[in-house]
C-alpha cells in the first residue's frame, strides 16, 4: 500500500497507547515511592523490592514474551497481556501490605514483558519494510520515550491526590486501549502448526538466567559483593545450559543464528548503553534536586520535562535525518550528544540555577530521540517476519537490563562516595556518580562507531533504512 489506511493508523495509535502506558507506569511509580513508603510503613529493603519486582518480571520474561508472540499469535498475546496488566495494576492500587504491592508489581512486569514485544512485532508485520515501517517505528519510539518523561509530571500530579491513583490511572487507560485494540488489531498468522512443540526447557532456563542476572545487577548496591557474584554466576551458568539446549532443540525458543545479524546485536548493545546512561543520569539528577536543593516532587517532575522533547522530534525531524544520513549515522550522533550532555552536567554546584541545567537536559532529550527510534529500526530491519517478536524481545531485554545496570551502578557509586549528609559530601557523591553515565555514554559511542565501519564494508549493497524517503 502506498498510503496508510485508516485502520493501520488506528492500529499504530493503539500500540502507541500501550507503549506510552508502559512508560508512564514506570515513571509514575518512581515519583510516588516516598509517599508509598510513608503510607504503608515500608522499610528501605521492601521499597526497593517494589521496583525490583517489576524489573525482574519485565526483564526476565521479555525474551519468552517475544517468542510467544511469534508462536502463539501476536494479537492474542498482546490482548491477554494487556488484560493482565490492567487487572494487576488495579490490584496494586488496592494493596494494604507490602507483599501485595510487590506481588502485583511482579505480575504487572511479566504482563508488560509479553505486551511490549508483541506490540512491536505487530507494527513490523503490519507495515512493510521501508519508509512506512520506519516512520511507524519512529512515531512509536517517540511515544515510548515520551512516556518515561511525561510520566514523571503525571506521577507528580497524581501523587498529590493520593499514591493509589498512580495505579488506578493506568487501569482506565488500559481499558480504553483494550476497547480499541479488539476490533482494530488484525488477527495474526500463527507459526504454530501440527508437530511444532514449544521449547519448555529453553523457556525455563533462559527466563531463570535473565531473572538471576537482572536480580544480581538490580540488588548489587544493597547486598554484599559475594551475594551479587553468586547470583550473577548462577545466572551465567543457566545461560550456558540454555545455549546447550538451544543447539540441540529441534524447535528452539531462540534460534542462535539470529545473533549473526550484526545490526541486531549492535542495536541491542546501543539500547542497553543508552538506557543505562539515561536512567543512571536521571536518578542522580532527581536526588540532587530533591535531597540537596529541597525541590518538591512536582517541581522536580516539571524540571525533567525538557527530556520530553523527544516526543516532538521522533516523528518529525528524525525521519528526515534517517532519510538523509541513514540509521547508523543518526544513532552515532545520538550517542555523541548523550555523552556530551552528561559531561556538561559534571560541574554541577549546590547553587546552580535551573538555566544552567537546561543544556544538559535538552541535549539528552535530543540524544534519546536520535538513538532510540533508529536503533529500533536497525534491530528489526533485516529480521524474518517469523522472528519479529523474538527480535523485539531481545531489543527490549537489552534496554531493561541496561536500565537496571545504570541505576544500580550510579546508586552504588553515589552511596560509596557520600560520607555524610552535608552539602559538600552530597555533592561529592553526585559528581562521582555522574561519571557512571559519562563512561556508559563513551562506550555507546564506540559501539555506534562500529556500526559506521560495518556499513562501509556493506556500502555496495546498502540497507533499506538508508533508502528511506520521507513520507508526507
Is 144 part of any domain? yes
Is 238 part of any domain? no
Instruction: Summarize pLDDT for 267-306 with one digit per residue, the tens.
Output: 999 999 999 999 889 888 988 888 888 888 778 888 888 8
Among 169, 185, 201, the domain boundary falls at 185
For residues 111 and 16, membership in a common domain is answered with yes
The CATH number assigned to the domain holding 304 equals 1.20.1250.20
- Alpha-carbon gap, residue 100 to 95, rounded angstroms: 5
Confidence at residue 459, expressed as pLDDT on a 0 to 100 scale: 54
- Alpha-carbon gap, residue 150 to 127, rounded angstroms: 27
Per the structure, the count of domains in the chain is 2
Confidence at residue 423, expressed as pLDDT on a 0 to 100 scale: 79
195: left (phi over 0), alpha (psi -120 to 50) or beta: left
For residues 177 and 272, membership in a common domain is answered with no
Confidence at residue 455, expressed as pLDDT on a 0 to 100 scale: 63
For residues 160 and 265, membership in a common domain is answered with no
CA–chain centroid gap for 135, Å, is 20
Confidence at residue 181, expressed as pLDDT on a 0 to 100 scale: 93
Among 139, 168, 185, the domain boundary falls at 185
For residues 149 and 276, membership in a common domain is answered with no
DSSP summary character for residue 315 = T
Is 236 part of any domain? no
Is 17 part of any domain? yes
Instruction: Summarize pLDDT for 226-241 with one digit per residue, the tens.
Output: 998 999 999 999 999 9
For residues 41 and 149, membership in a common domain is answered with yes
Confidence at residue 460, expressed as pLDDT on a 0 to 100 scale: 44
Is 465 part of any domain? no
For residues 306 and 435, membership in a common domain is answered with yes
For residues 274 and 407, membership in a common domain is answered with yes
Which positions ≥6 away from 39 have C-beta within 8 Å?
163
The answer to whether 439 and 273 are in contact (CB under 8 A) is no
71: left (phi over 0), alpha (psi -120 to 50) or beta: alpha
The answer to whether 331 and 378 are in contact (CB under 8 A) is yes
For 154, 262, 327, 396, 413, the CA distances from 138, given in Å and listed in that order, are 23, 21, 11, 15, 34
For residues 263 and 397, membership in a common domain is answered with yes
Confidence at residue 465, expressed as pLDDT on a 0 to 100 scale: 43
Is 290 part of any domain? yes
Range of the domain at 86: 1-185
> Which grid cell sits at 395?
531489543
> Which grid cell sits at 206?
533462559
Q: Which residues of 459-471 are buried (b: 16+ CB within 10 A; e: fewer)?
A: eeeebebbebeee
For residues 309 and 450, membership in a common domain is answered with yes
Among 185, 212, 241, the domain boundary falls at 185
Residue 28 DSSP SS3: helix
294: left (phi over 0), alpha (psi -120 to 50) or beta: left
For residues 378 and 265, membership in a common domain is answered with yes
pTM (whole model) above 0.85: no
- Alpha-carbon gap, residue 178 to 190, rounded angstroms: 21
Which positions ≥6 away from 317 have C-beta within 8 Å?
369
Is 217 part of any domain? no
**Could you please report the per-residue DSSP string of 150-214?**
HHHHHHHHHHHH-TTHHHHHHHHHHHHHHHHHHHHSPPPPP---TT----HHHHHHHHHHHHHHH
The answer to whether 402 and 301 are in contact (CB under 8 A) is no
**Could you please report the per-residue DSSP string of 273-330?**
HHHHHHHHHHHHHHHIIIIIS---HHHHHHHGGGGGHHHHHTTTHHHHHHHHH-HHHH
The answer to whether 75 and 163 are in contact (CB under 8 A) is no
Confidence at residue 70, expressed as pLDDT on a 0 to 100 scale: 84
Is 160 part of any domain? yes
For residues 298 and 175, membership in a common domain is answered with no
Confidence at residue 26, expressed as pLDDT on a 0 to 100 scale: 81
| Residue ranges for the chain with pLDDT beneath 50 | 1-4, 191-195, 460-472
For residues 279 and 160, membership in a common domain is answered with no
The answer to whether 331 and 451 are in contact (CB under 8 A) is yes
Residue 351 DSSP SS3: coil
DSSP summary character for residue 81 = H
- Alpha-carbon gap, residue 226 to 208, rounded angstroms: 20
Amino acid at each position: 500500500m502506498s498510503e496508510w489506511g485508516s485502520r493501520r493508523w488506528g492500529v499504530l495509535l493503539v500500540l502507541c497507547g500501550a507503549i506510552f502506558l508502559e512508560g508512564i507506569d514506570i515513571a509514575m511509580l518512581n515519583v510516588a515511592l516516598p509517599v508509598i513508603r510513608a503510607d504503608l510503613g515500608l522499610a528501605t529493603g521492601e521499597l526497593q523490592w517494589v521496583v525490583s519486582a517489576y524489573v525482574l518480571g519485565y526483564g526476565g520474561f521479555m525474551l519468552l514474551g517475544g517468542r510467544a508472540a511469534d508462536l502463539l499469535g501476536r494479537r492474542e498475546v498482546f490482548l491477554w497481556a494487556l488484560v493482565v496488566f490492567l487487572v494487576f495494576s488495579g490490584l496494586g492500587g488496592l494493596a494494604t501490605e507490602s507483599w501485595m504491592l510487590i506481588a502485583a508489581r511482579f505480575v504487572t512486569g511479566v504482563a508488560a514483558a509479553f505486551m511490549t514485544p508483541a506490540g512491536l512485532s505487530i507494527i513490523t508485520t503490519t507495515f512493510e519494510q521501508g519508509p512506512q515501517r520506519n516512520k511507524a517505528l519512529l512515531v512509536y519510539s517517540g511515544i515510548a520515550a515520551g512516556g518515561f518523561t511525561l510520566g514523571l509530571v503525571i506521577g507528580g500530579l497524581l501523587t498529590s491526590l493520593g499514591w493509589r491513583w498512580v495505579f488506578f490511572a493506568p487501569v482506565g487507560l488500559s481499558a480504553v486501549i483494550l476497547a480499541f485494540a479488539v476490533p482494530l488489531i488484525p488477527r495474526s498468522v500463527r507459526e504454530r502448526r501440527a508437530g511444532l512443540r514449544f521449547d519448555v526447557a529453553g523457556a525455563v532456563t533462559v527466563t531463570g538466567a535473565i531473572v538471576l542476572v537482572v536480580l544480581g545487577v538490580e540488588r548489587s548496591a544493597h547486598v554484599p559483593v559475594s551475594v551479587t557474584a553468586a547470583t550473577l554466576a548462577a545466572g551465567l551458568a543457566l545461560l550456558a545450559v540454555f545455549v546447550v539446549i538451544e543447539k540441540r532443540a529441534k524447535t528452539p525458543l531462540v534460534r542462535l543464528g539470529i545473533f549473526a545479524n550484526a545490526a541486531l546485536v549492535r542495536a541491542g548493545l546501543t539500547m542497553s548503553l543508552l538506557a543505562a546512561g539515561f536512567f543512571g543520569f536521571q536518578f542522580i539528577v532527581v536526588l540532587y534536586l530533591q535531597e540537596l536543593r529541597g525541590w518538591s516532587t512536582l517541581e522536580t517532575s516539571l524540571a525533567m520535562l525538557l527530556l520530553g522533547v523527544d516526543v516532538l522530534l521522533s516523528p518529525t525531524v528524525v525521519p528526515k535525518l534517517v532519510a538523509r544520513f541513514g540509521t547508523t549515522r543518526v544513532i552515532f550522533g545520538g550517542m555523541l550528544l548523550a555523552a556530551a550532555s552528561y559531561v556538561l552536567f559534571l560541574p554541577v554546584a549546590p547553587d546552580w540555577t535551573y538555566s544552567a541545567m537546561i543544556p544538559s537536559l535538552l541535549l539528552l532529550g535530543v540524544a534519546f530521540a536520535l538513538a532510540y527510534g533508529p536503533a529500533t529500526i536497525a534491530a528489526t530491519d533485516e529480521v524474518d517476519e517469523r522472528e519479529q517478536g523474538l527480535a523485539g524481545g531481545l531489543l527490549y531485554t537489552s534496554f531493561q537490563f541496561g536500565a537496571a545496570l545504570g541505576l544500580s551502578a550510579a546508586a552504588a557509586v553515589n552511596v560509596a562516595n557520600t560520607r555524610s549528609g552535608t552539602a559538600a559530601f552530597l555533592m561529592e557523591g553526585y559528581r562521582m556518580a555522574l561519571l557512571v553515565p559519562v563512561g556508559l555514554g563513551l562506550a555507546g559511542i564506540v559501539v555506534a562507531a562500529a556500526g559506521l565501519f560495518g556499513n562501509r564494508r556493506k556500502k555496495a549493497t546498502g540497507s533499506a533504512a538508508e533508502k528511506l524517503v520521507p513520507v508526507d
